């Protein structure tokens, strides 16, 4: 395969995704703010840029996997940004978790330049990205989605289409992250109740995840929470708080009350205040132990 695509953002998620594209035979032009993260990709055959625009091929496809709305705006806008150089017919495939409002703005900006913005946030931790086991929600114009379909199949195990409004995919993504954080809070409270009554947390985990809650979210995060072993860090508390606050902002805009999201925001904020901001977001459950007088 000789197609060249751009790839911007080589963090915990973006790096293994870029590696998989190289393995699949794509030519890559890569950009990352921390240039050291591009080194092994360059050794593997990628071309490195020093500005976001350097990753863009006129009329081509460029993928962004960045931390937040501000980072997406930074690599997209301005003279050094990707949008000014993407050109008519080009596709910006945004695989970041950003607000629906930003996705709407981005789609409009790209349409004004006669190019396409496709939102395709991913579901899964870095190990899932490395194993090409991500789930992907996609939304954008049909012709652009068709063009990136093969790329999405390289990166994930399944793609779910949510229509032509790019923001739809981001609503789905932040809703899922809210549900994951809710599951972690629930497990933390349940395991702590058991511990306070002299019950082995891991035995509770083993029963629950083999019976009523035999699903990846409970099995993956439940083991960490039951054992209080939060390494390695896949998604930190700072990013978790960002996503839950995106949920709250979207809920307010839609006049859709989400009281439990407020509780999760406070839980994550408390963890960050205790110096755990760079720790895995599953460590939010340490706050439950703190409240219960265990730690």
Nearest CA to 99 out of 209, 173, 48 is that of 173
Which one is catalytic: 105, 141, 173, 228?
173
Handedness of CA 65, 67, 71, 73 (dihedral sign): positive
Contact 279, 233 (CB under 8 A): yes
Q: Is 101 buried (19+), middle (13-18) or exposed (0-12) by CB count in 10 A?
A: middle
Task: Return the H-helix or E-strand segment holding 137.
Answer: strand 134-138
Q: Work out the number of other CB atoms within 10 angstroms of the CB of residue 196.
A: 12
The C-alpha atoms of residue 131 and residue 16 are separated, in whole angstroms, by 8
Handedness of CA 286, 291, 294, 295 (dihedral sign): positive
Contact 237, 279 (CB under 8 A): yes
Catalytic annotation present for 173: yes
Task: Give the chain's end-to-end CA distance (angstroms, integer).
Answer: 54
What residues are labeled active site? 173
């Amino acid at each position: 395969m000789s197609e060249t695509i751009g790839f911007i953002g080589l963090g915990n998620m973006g790096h293994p995704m870029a590696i998989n594209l190289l393995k699949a035979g794509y030519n890559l032009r890569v950009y990352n703010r921390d240039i050291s993260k591009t080194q092994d990709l360059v050794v593997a055959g990628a071309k490195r840029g020093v500005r976001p625009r350097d990753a863009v091929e006129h009329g081509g496809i460029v993928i962004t996997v960045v931390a937040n709305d501000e980072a997406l705006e930074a690599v997209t806008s301005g003279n050094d940004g990707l949008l000014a150089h993407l050109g008519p017919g080009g596709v910006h495939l945004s695989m970041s978790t950003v607000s629906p409002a930003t996705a709407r703005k981005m789609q409009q900006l790209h349409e004004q330049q006669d190019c396409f913005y496709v939102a395709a946030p991913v579901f899964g931790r870095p190990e899932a990205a490395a194993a090409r086991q991500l789930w992907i929600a996609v939304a954008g114009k049909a012709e652009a989605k068709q063009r990136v379909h093969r790329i999405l199949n390289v990166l994930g195990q399944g793609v779910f289409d949510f229509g032509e409004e790019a923001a739809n995919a981001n609503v789905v993504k932040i809703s899922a992250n809210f549900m994951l954080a809710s599951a972690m809070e629930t497990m933390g409270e349940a395991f702590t109740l058991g511990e306070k009554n002299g019950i082995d947390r891991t035995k509770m985990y083993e029963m629950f995840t083999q019976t009523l809650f035999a699903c990846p979210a409970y099995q993956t995060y439940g083991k960490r929470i039951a054992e209080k072993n939060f390494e390695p860090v896949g998604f930190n508390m700072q990013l978790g708080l960002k996503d839950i606050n995106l949920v709250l902002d979207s809920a307010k805009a839609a006049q859709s009350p989400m009281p439990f999201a407020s509780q999760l925001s406070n839980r994550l904020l408390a963890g960050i205040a205790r110096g755990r901001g760079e720790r895995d977001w599953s460590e939010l459950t340490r706050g439950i132990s703190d409240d219960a007088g265990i730690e």
